[in-house]
Amino acid sequence: MDNVDALKEQAGIAACEFVKSGMKVGLGTGSTVKFTVIELGRMIKEDGLEIVGVPTSLATQKLANKVGIPLVELSDVNGLDIVIDGADEFDPQFQLIKGGGAALLREKIVAQESSSMVVVADKRKKVETLGAFPLPIEITPFAYNSTIRKISSILDCRVNCRMSGDNPVITDNGNYIADAHCGPKITDPKSTESEILKVAGVVQVGLFNDMCDVIILAEDGGISTLVRQDGRIVL
């Protein structure tokens, strides 16, 4: 395990401190939060932690089953206590870009049903202005090129359909992912999200605004905890 992966593991495990017995927990997707899922499984087996989880992707569902986390359907519970997830970028206002793993729709549904959100990330994800990471946008397969052209016109940047070999990447919901290469210039992520959502053919946008409360950040010097001043979690 290299240094980056070791720091990711530390951050993923640190996020588990926010999980208590009796909670309904959203289980995110990605290379950092997988360590959270593994640790929660250990806590259930060894420490007697009692929780139920809602996975945000089929990959997380598979991992949660493997480590022994009881799972429920989101529609069968009245909201979640917390979701722990990763991010592709975050800015000083705790606004996020997510969707690099093509799970943004499920991640966003779970996030909006959660009473709090903890994000685990490494230092490479910390930016002053969002957009260096291409903005993922989930779109319908029907007339997807037309949708992509419209998004490109709105954002005034190159937008491409994410591919796997010669074929478009298919999300867990049967949709495609458009990646918008905005560059680091998304200074008003709320407005950007609103404008993109007006496009017929757009299912959801990988901007997670006013959702994140705490960021567990893995840096060279170790793990730090960043808390949004007006967030829903108070340490």
The model's pLDDT over 56-114, given as tens digits with 9 standing for 90+, comes to 999 999 999 999 999 999 999 999 999 999 999 999 999 999 999 999 999 999 999 99
Into how many domains does the chain fold?
2
Domain span holding position 176:
135-206
Residue 157 belongs to a domain: yes
Residue 32 falls inside a structural domain: yes
pLDDT band at 220 (very low <50, low <70, confident <90, very high): confident
Based on the domain organization, do 202 and 216 belong to the same domain? Answer: no
* pLDDT attached to residue 235: 77
Q: Please list the active-site residues.
A: 107
Q: Give pLDDT, residue 187.
A: 98
What mean pLDDT is predicted for residues 197-213?
98
Q: What is the pTM of this model?
A: 0.96
What are the structure tokens assigned to 74, written together? 């989101």
Q: Which residue in the block uniquely carries the two structure tokens 């458009």? A: 178
Are 50 and 154 within one domain?
Answer: no
- 62 is written with which tokens? 């598979």
Instruction: Report the pLDDT value the prediction gives residue 1, as an integer from 0 to 100.
Output: 62
Do 186 and 78 lie in one domain? The reply is no
Helix (H, G, I), strand (E, B) or coil at 75: helix
pLDDT digits (tens, 9 = 90+) for 1-47: 678 888 899 999 999 999 999 999 999 999 999 999 999 999 999 99
Q: Is residue 235 part of a domain?
A: no
pLDDT in tens, 107-154: 999 999 999 999 999 999 999 999 999 999 999 999 999 999 999 999
CA 99 to chain centre: 6
Is residue 201, in this structure, part of any structural domain at all? Answer: yes
Q: Are residues 215 and 192 in the same domain?
A: no
CB 233 within 8 A of CB 18: yes
What phi-psi label fits residue 169: left (phi over 0), alpha (psi between -120 and 50 degrees) or beta? beta
Residue 232 in any domain: the answer is: no
Tell the burial category of 81 from Cβ atoms under 10 Å away from its Cβ (0-12, 13-18, 19+).
middle
Domain identity same for 120 and 142: no
Q: How confident is the model at residue 13, as a pLDDT?
A: 97
> Do 147 and 58 reside in the same domain of the chain?
no
- 141 and 32 assigned to the same domain: no
How many of the other CB atoms lie within 10 Å of CB of 229?
6
Same domain, 85 and 168: no
Does residue 198 share a domain with residue 146? Answer: yes
Judgement on whether residues 115 and 195 belong to the same structural domain of the protein: no
Domain contains 233: no
